Chain A
Amino acid sequence: MIFLLGALCAPVVNLLVEIEMAKGVYSGPLEQVDPNCYRIPKSYRADMRVDGLVFANARLMESIRHDQALEQVANVATLPGIQVGSFAMPDIHWGYGFCIGGVCATDPAEGGVISPGGVGYDINCGVRLVKTNLFLDDVKPHLRELIKALFYSVPSGVGRSGKYKFDPKETRKLMGEGVRFAIDRNLGVPQDLLHTEANGHIDGGDPEEVSDHAVKRGSDQCGTLGSGNHFLEVQVVDQVCDAEVAEAFGLELNQICVMIHSGSRGLGYQVCDDALAAFRDAPGKYGIVLPDRQLACAPVDSPEGKKYIAAMRAAANFGFTNRQLLMQQTREVFAGVFGRPWTDLGMDLLYDVAHNIAKLEEHTVEGKLKKVWVHRKGATRAFPADHPELPEAFQKTGQPVIIPGDMGRASWVLVGQPGSMARTFGTTCHGAGRAMSRTAAVKDAVGRRIDKELEARGVIAMSSSRQGLAEEQPRAYKNVDHVVEVVHDAGLSKKVARMRPIGVIKG
């Protein structure tokens, strides 16, 4: 049952649409540092404290210039306490305050700030990859049944609530415990904790700093996919680039995996919204002059900063637990379709990564070890081998980095490299990056059957949104292969394996 999209054109016709992006062509200086990195010198603007450093090659930079994102990189460079540079990954595009793909580190000892715009509304939006011991030929005869079962069992879509409903007290407990909350209820296994960034729980979260409104928004949404660019995808490994690391990760050619992309749902959004309201007067109070209201920030050690950090960490724990419950529902569906327990299907979690987060981490800055707040807004941690924060399973290789692409082409597993620690505070890209606005994508889909086009590529897609498939069509995104090429060549993270989608459910 694949939803038809012809009728979705009608509401679009009622809208007057201007292409906002064309108004934002960047005309400032751009110096090429190397084939995969450009600098916006801090001399560009008097308020910049550090350079902007954009990881991209010449081909990607051509399109990157055409929205406001580069100016946003310069804006972030004005933040107090910023260290080394204002960074952007090759999947850069315009965002709120920070661009998507934006990264910066601030030092509290130098008056460094925390900025909710540097985390994003969807706190701990992230992605996980679940392995199986199934191969393409095992799944092909059951694929339509599998995708249909996933679509009807895993809640997705606008305003959709899930089967797990928690009262406010339980929701706060969930935020306090993170993924452990689910494991204690037999919604996963202890191994899942080790294969989740931060073991599925960021210390220092305080659920009491999360507003009642946020808790209410999240109470029936844990274990739901959401809408927009969130998805659950059945994929097949179609390329192995690093055989040794792939083997260590348990990935091989033609293996079936499941990728789940979602975040902290309405709860996280409300935490960010509440923080932006609380931070409205903070810049003035602390003598911070901002080029963009959406960069609202406060010193890390201020009362406002501390409250936000406590709430953000709690919301992040909700995000990890959301993806845990999504995975558990997926495991149960596979068990039902294939008639065996999910443990017999080898459905182990490879790794779960956050790509909208701020974390206090230790990094070497100009030869000195410092604790800095690394903001990753549409960017993923990419710690290399021997990093103390990684579990034993990844000490020899470095951490897996899960990079979702678009639903027609590919996604990737990379591995963290020492170059990320040297160049970008342990960070790499997070996805393909949008190339087309949602409205433009819907207009582009007029007269086309996106579902049929996907099926012709071997992808069965089911969406609960009239516009969802059109907005998320492959053309709306950059080619993730091009994005990953840059971070690979720049030494931030290395290609391990590529997966192509064979089935996707979307909200």
Chain B
Amino acid sequence: MHELFDHTADLGLRIRAGDLDTLFTEAGACLLACMVDDPATVLARESQTLAIAGTDREYLLFDWLRELLHRSDEARMLWCRFDVRVTATGLTATILGEPFDQTRHLLSREVKAITYHGLKIEDVAGGFLAEVIVDI
């Protein structure tokens, strides 16, 4: 599950999941929830694959969200579905979404950057808890 939390001028993402694959998947969905009024309006029409190397899981989460943001910015895409595999050396993913369509998608915020502030992934009962602050 994912939720957004308050931070003075910006926004926090909090994600809970039983395993890392699901954690990263939910993080992608949480990022979309920051950006658009109604994530359900974004359809999985196009797909891309990506791979990110990294052994530190917190930096890997940061790099994952940063890459999603880059791919949103560059091609004006919105990403709504994620199939992520996290390993000891990085992750691979297939991401699905569609181009931004102002007749259907209401942008609620501009996520300008993923930050390191308060970045964490903790082992908790039942799995993992992650927090990331985004600059809006």
Contact = CB atoms under 8 A, between A and B. Distances in A.
Q: Main SS of the interface on chain A?
A: loop
B21 interface: no
Given A21-B8, A67-B8, A158 B109 contact: yes
Interface bin, chain B: 20 to 34
Contact of A121 (B6, B8, B70, B112): B112
Contacts of B117: 96-97, 292-294
A438 B106 contact: no
Interface string B62-74: 0000100010011
Given A16-B4, A159-B107, A466-B106, A272 B37 contact: no
Interface stretch (B9-17, B45-53, B84-92, B121-129): B9-17
B7 A437 contact: yes
Contact of B37 (A11, A93, A94, A97): A11
A467 B11 CA distance: 14
B8 A434 contact: yes
A216 interface: yes
A219 to B, nearest CB: 11
Given A93-B9, A213-B70, A293-B119, A16 B3 contact: yes
A503 B50 CA distance: 47
B109 A280 contact: no
Interface in A169-199: none
A280 B56 CA distance: 12
Given A228-B110, A276-B116, A292-B117, A19 B135 contact: no
A20 B108 contact: no
Interface string A15-44: 111111100000000000000000000000
Contacts of A226: 110
A440 B5 CA distance: 10
A210 B74 CA distance: 16
A437 B6 CA distance: 7
Interface in A420-455: 434, 437-440
A273 interface: yes
B113 interface: yes
A269 B113 contact: yes
Contact of B116 (A16, A216, A296, A439): A296
Interface in B79-112: 100, 106-110, 112
B115 A440 contact: no
Interface of B: 3-12, 37-38, 59, 66, 70, 73-74, 76, 100, 106-110, 112-117, 119, 133, 135-136
Interface of A: 11, 15-21, 67, 93-97, 100, 121-122, 158-159, 213, 216-217, 226-229, 266, 269, 272-273, 276-277, 280, 292-294, 296, 434, 437-440, 466-467
6 contacts: A21-B7, A158-B108, A213-B74, A269-B113, A273-B66, A293-B117
